[in-house]
Structure 1
Amino acid sequence: MASTHSEARKRAWRLLSPNHRGAIWMMGATAGFTLNGALVKSLSQLDMDAFQISFARALFALLAILPFVWRERRTVLISKHWGIHMVRALSGAIAMICGYYAVSKMPLADVTALGFTQPLFTTLLAFLLLAEVVRWRRWTATLVGFLGVLVIVRPGADSFEPTAFAALAMAFGIALAVTLVKRFPDGESSVTMLLIFCITSIVLTAPPALYLWREPSLYEFGLLCGVGVVGIGSQAMIIQAYRNGEASFVAPFDYTKLLLAGVIGYLLFDELPDGWTWTGAAIIVASTLYIVRRESQQGRDRSTPPQSRL
């Protein structure tokens, strides 16, 4: 009977369109990343430092990918692009630390909203590092998106939170890591990327983590395990989302994170985002959706062969 139900589920899954499968993967990743943020915030409220949490995250992620490293053991450390690997790993590690620090100090919904600036930074970095042509519409959308950041942060206001810059540094670091992936040839192993990221993160976070180390209780150890497992699982679901569906269809489902973060923040941490956060988030989301749509349209235009004039 169990096998019958399993086969029925597999058939139902195969009947879904690639875009719908991608959307389901994205919503799973969204829930995972939001849960990960809640776990980090819970640990920070127990007075655990962001460096110790980041160290544990990298360590458990490394343990999770070791079977894949072993499978590719003969080639996993063979690369002609070590400089790009190191910069990418370092930017990702710093983004992780900044993100965990921001979550420990700010409401989950605020950090999530500021994290949506990643596509804005990606547009800027693609222009600077990849020499991509960015036309005036995308520049305008990027500028509008950063105006949304000002609405959330409100520099000069009494409610200004300097920790917001850590959340923006997180978004910038992720954008840089994503942009550098495009510098790799198609054959570069994703396992190599993950391995170098984990090792770099461990090396970077180990000294401050050991200096600030606090022996975790059994409950805290469980939360730390959860941060590592949920984090790596969410990353895997993101990959599956974009492998199954078109980016222009899949990406908007990521914005459900804001609603989830607002609900979890309110229920677990008594956080209630103000109207400025929702307004700024709406501006950022609208601008990034426009950028995703333009990139998708331009990608289709490049892949469509020119029509014959005969």
Structure 2
Amino acid sequence: MSPPKLSFNRIDAISAPVQGALLMTLAALGFSIMNILIRYAADELHPIQIAFFRNFFALAFVLPWLFRHGLAGLRTERPGMHLARSVVGLSAMFCWFTSITILPLAEAVALNFTVPLFATAGAYFILREAVGVRRWSATLAGFLGVIVILRPGFVEITPAMAMPVIAAGFMAGSVLLVKTLSRTEDTVAMVLIMNLIMTPLSLIPALFVWEWPSWTVLGYLTLIGLVATIAHLALTKSYRLADASAVIPFDYARLPFVAFLAYFAFGEVPDEWTWIGAGIIAASAIYIAQREAKVARERTAAEAPRAQI
């Protein structure tokens, strides 16, 4: 009798929602590490120049895919949407990189949790999607969470505090475009096209603040490009594998991740209001995602009988 064969669990054996959750958690960790590296690099370089190097090295890490698949792998019938996604994404990057160099990291991340709230508003005002009272109420509650973090009247509100919220607005636009593109475009191709556009675009403003980095900072910049590429691939693949409502909750692991890393790297300790406000924002955003998924399922169920007629 032959001995039994050993079997090993493969990633393909894991259900798609679980894969999506794991990939979103990986993306959250990657973005948290990237934020720490950006803060280190900012000791020498302007955030806009760091954004250029992030795009440059990210492009370098995905170019082997292009050499393997050729230019045919970049074919798309939606070049305008790719361009729009890159412009919006670059605007978000400039605002975000600036915010994490001037604010405590946990506070910046908590304020940036407003991305799904802006996405809900954008879906209504730009895409003309129906948004019910429940989702509007959750959106309002989320912005109340921002007020908890900022505490106007109790602490001084500075222009710097607006930067992560402005970045969130641009990121929301990018999320809407990514979600739309991911229905038809290849995951790696989306990341590659984005970096092919964003690298030269980000070089232009970077030239006005240019300084040559030291070898140490150049190492940080290389790591930023590598980690950003891995995180974006994980994020995009996560949205392809599962509904946003299933994976978005795992994005909020960014706060404990970055709080832990910032404590050991910079000695930063977020106050209780940051955690409370972030919790309110996260809860409202998770509710919005779940509500959107429920509405989508009900719409699909209602349209199914008509399709059979």
TM range (shorter): 0.7 to 0.9
TM-score normalised by L of structure 2: 0.87
Counterpart residue number, 1:76: 74
SS of alignment partner, residue 262 of structure 2: helix
Counterpart residue number, 2:234: 237
1:236-274 Cα shifts (integer Å, max 9, x gaps)? 111232333343232211111111111111111111111
Counterpart residue number, 2:263: 266
CA distance in 1, matches of 2:106, 2:7: 38
Unaligned runs of 5+ in 2: 1-5
CA distance in 1, matches of 2:224, 2:178: 24
1:163 and 2:160 are equivalent in the alignment: yes
- The structure-2 alpha-carbon separation of the partners of 1:185 and 1:52, relative to structure 1 and needing over 3 Å to count, comes to closer
Alignment of 1:53-202 (within 5 A): 53-70=50-67, 71-74=69-72, 76=74, 79=77, 81-181=78-178, 186-188=183-185, 193-202=190-199
- The structure-2 alpha-carbon separation of the partners of 1:222 and 1:157, relative to structure 1 and needing over 3 Å to count, comes to same
- 8 Å CA contact 2:28–2:251 kept in 1: the answer is yes
Please report how far the alpha carbon of residue 156 of structure 1 lies from its aligned counterpart in structure 2 after TM superposition: 4.5
Match of 2:37 among 18, 39, 52: 39
1:131-171 Cα shifts (integer Å, max 9, x gaps)? 10001110111111111112212344434232121111211
Counterpart residue number, 1:277: 274
1:170-192 Cα shifts (integer Å, max 9, x gaps)? 11111112223456594445556
Instruction: State which drifts further: 167-176 or 84-93.
Output: 84-93
SS of alignment partner, residue 71 of structure 2: coil
Unaligned runs of 5+ in 1: 1-6
The amino acid that maps onto 1:34 is: S
SS of alignment partner, residue 304 of structure 1: helix
Counterpart residue number, 1:48: 45
Alignment of 1:244-259 (within 5 A): 244-259=241-256
- The structure-2 alpha-carbon separation of the partners of 1:87 and 1:156, relative to structure 1 and needing over 3 Å to count, comes to farther
- The structure-2 alpha-carbon separation of the partners of 1:189 and 1:223, relative to structure 1 and needing over 3 Å to count, comes to same
SS of alignment partner, residue 25 of structure 2: helix
CA distance in 2, matches of 1:56, 1:174: 20
CA distance in 2, matches of 1:226, 1:205: 18
- The structure-2 alpha-carbon separation of the partners of 1:152 and 1:78, relative to structure 1 and needing over 3 Å to count, comes to same
- 8 Å CA contact 2:57–2:226 kept in 1: the answer is yes
1:87-134 Cα shifts (integer Å, max 9, x gaps)? 221110010111111110111111111121111011111112211000
CA distance in 1, matches of 2:73, 2:218: 34
- 8 Å CA contact 2:145–2:278 kept in 1: the answer is yes
The amino acid that maps onto 1:53 is: I
CA distance in 1, matches of 2:44, 2:7: 47
CA distance in 2, matches of 1:20, 1:100: 31
The amino acid that maps onto 1:126 is: A
Please report how far the alpha carbon of residue 22 of structure 1 lies from its aligned counterpart in structure 2 after TM superposition: 2.1
| RMSD (Å), alpha carbons | 2.4
